[in-house]
Amino acid sequence: MSLMLERLVAGTPIPFAGNRVSVVSPELAARFQPGDHLLVEQVSGELLLIPVVDQQAAAVAIERAQAAFSALAAVSDAAISEFFDRFAQRLETPACWALIEAANLADIERAKGRGRSTTRLLADERMRRDMIAGLRAWRDAPATRGKVLSCVEHDGWKVEQVVSPLGIVAFVFEGRPNVFADAAGVLRTGNTAVLRIGSDALGTAQAIVTHALNPALAEAGLPAGAVSLVESVNHAAGWAMFADRRLSLAVARGSGRAVSQLGSIAQQAGTAVSLHGTGGAWLIADEHA
């Protein structure tokens, strides 16, 4: 028998990793409200509180992406190509970009007020061009859904290896507004995407969704929710998203500890992960270079 968690008591031991325990702190117990979720990160034993509002924000986005994935099976590859083209066209349109730029400037001012770096946050002309180029690269990429990769034939029967979509791909990004061009690429292969972006860039992301992404989906005849944004500024929404078993792949980009934590949460749910948190580039230069 299972019961709903209605309260947390300070000092309560919470088992993790089979033979270890973490203890509920007074601060965590005071913050917990009925309906909230408690997640135990099985590597470190960290107790993660997910407020009900963040749990719901993640669930709504995933439900939309799940419904869109089913509908996307009936959408032609030509329509998917049209989506990428229309998305790019909207970013090229001065009136549309002006609305996105205004939201971005507001995000930058808020970030500066919090003492945050705005280097990656600025949606300038270079970022705009890169997004447009990225979307058109996806438009022109070969369609592979249903492609037969190999076939083994026997008398009266055969086995084919066929390219098929994964399902819902979840992304957690830092505050980089151009991530939509990256994440939307999963539609090329018949998948859908759900994103949580850093709080500094949420206003810009919402403007891109409202003025470019969603209209492009509608104009191309793709299902609403094929690329869904988690409407929350809190890290807890990312935890809730990566803990959802409906995901087929979880992708996290950001700082080392946050990324490894998200990866652990997704793996606990049985979801494959792609993580990048510490960088892998080396520069070797002559002392006189």
Q: Which of 175, 174, 217 is nearest to 193 (CA)?
A: 217
Q: What is the enclosing helix (H) or strand (E) of 78?
A: helix 77-92
Strands 168-173 and 227-229, by their bridges, are unpaired
Rounded percentage of the chain residues whose pLDDT exceeds 90? 79
Q: What is the pLDDT of residue 138?
A: 96
What is the overall mean pLDDT for the chain?
Answer: 93
Arithmetic mean of pLDDT, 31-49: 95
pLDDT above 70: residue 281? no
Structural domains in the chain, CATH included, are: 52-276 (3.40.605.10)
Mean pLDDT, rounded, for 154-166: 91
pLDDT at residue 277 in the model: 60
Q: Are 234 and 54 in contact (CB under 8 A)?
A: yes
Q: What is the mean pLDDT of residues 263-273?
A: 95
pLDDT score at 279: 56
Q: Among 289, 247, 253, 255, which Cα is nearest to 272's?
A: 247
Q: How far apart are CA 140 and CA 88, in angstroms?
A: 12
Residue 98 has pLDDT above 60, yes or no: yes
177 falls in which pLDDT band (50, 70, 90)?
A: confident
Structure confidence by residue, pLDDT tens digits, 138-149: 999 999 898 898
Average pLDDT value for residue range 116-132:
91
pLDDT above 80: residue 179: yes
Mean of the pLDDT values across residues 258-287?
Answer: 82
In this structure, of 75-84, 189-198, 252-261, the range with the lowest mean pLDDT score is: 252-261
State pLDDT tens for residues 184-211.
Answer: 999 999 999 999 998 899 999 999 999 9
Q: Distance between CA atoms of 110 and 108, rounded to whole angstroms? A: 5
- What is the rounded average pLDDT of the residues 101-123? 92
Band of residue 287 on the pLDDT scale cut at 50, 70, 90: confident
* Section 130-140 average pLDDT: 96
Answer whether residue 257 shows pLDDT above 90: no
Tell me how far the alpha carbon of residue 199 is from its chain's centroid: 13
User: Cα-atom radius of gyration of the chain, to the nearest Å?
Assistant: 21
The mean per-residue pLDDT over the stretch 68-75 comes to 96
Mean pLDDT of 101-110: 95
- pLDDT at res. 258: 87
